[in-house]
Amino acid sequence: MRKIIYWVHASVDGFIDGPNGEFDWTVMGPELSAYSESLDKRVDTLLFGRAVWQMMVGFWPNAESMSDDPHVASFAPFWRATEKIVISHSHPGDDWTSKVVGADEVAALKDRPGGDLLLTGGAAAAASLTALGLIDEYHVAVHPVVLGGGRQLFTDPGQRHNLKLIDSRVLDGRVVVSHYQP
């Protein structure tokens, strides 16, 4: 069975974006980029909640023309070539969306043959999939910034979910990445 891997960046105070939705505080150094790329190599499907999708589709289709960052140059072709599924009941789809599903339909995606699925960012989709017991791995990159507000890492998970720490490391001398399993 395929796994669902949750990969998310958070601030020290537990937010995934700033008070005004800003996501300009992450720093993708070479070690953090390599970690991210190691997750990409395991997957053939990208999962997004609607809010994260809207941010992603506004940047990644033409990312190389907007940034000369090495991480962008590496990830953009992968993003464009990989199946992209949006978890939403309100997203109508667009030219870059492969499929739109409800959270309750994600279990069927795990049963399909293929590589793992990577849920990138997002709080509501992660909380829904956590509540359904569908996330197999959590990879949380904590950046050394206090945002003072924004969307919390998990939006109303509904109940306690104890996780097992598999690995934790400091990357690029500044970002702590922890890998957990349920």
- In this predicted model, what pLDDT tens digit does every residue of 40-91 receive, in sequence order? 999 999 999 998 999 999 999 999 999 999 999 999 999 999 999 999 999 9
pLDDT for 157 equals 67
Residue 134 one-letter amino acid:
L
Residue 11 within any structural domain of the chain: no
88-110 residue pLDDT tens: 999 999 999 999 999 999 999 99
Integer angstrom CA distances of residue 55 from 27, 47, 122: 17, 13, 11
Q: Which of 141, 146, 149 is nearest to 6 (CA)?
A: 141
**pLDDT class for 154, splitting at 50, 70, 90?**
confident
pLDDT for 167 equals 98
Residue 6 within any structural domain of the chain: no
Residue 76 within any structural domain of the chain: yes
Residue 50 within any structural domain of the chain: yes
Helix ranges restricted to H, the chain: 30-40, 50-57, 70-81, 106-111, 124-131
pLDDT for 62 equals 94
For the chain, how many structural domains are there in total? 1
Asked whether the predicted pLDDT for residue 158 surpasses 90, the reply is no
Asked whether the predicted pLDDT for residue 33 surpasses 80, the reply is yes
Asked whether the predicted pLDDT for residue 144 surpasses 70, the reply is yes
Residue 9 within any structural domain of the chain: no
Residues 6+ apart with CB under 8 A from 99: 83, 85, 86, 93
Q: Which domain holds residue 165?
A: 30-181
Residue 163 within any structural domain of the chain: yes
Residue 82 within any structural domain of the chain: yes
Residue 2 within any structural domain of the chain: no
CATH code of the domain covering residue 160? 3.40.430.10
Alpha carbon of residue 122 to chain centroid: 6
State mean pLDDT over 5-34: 96
pLDDT for 155 equals 77
Instruction: Tell me if the pTM is above 0.75.
Output: yes
109-134 residue pLDDT tens: 999 999 999 999 888 999 999 999 99
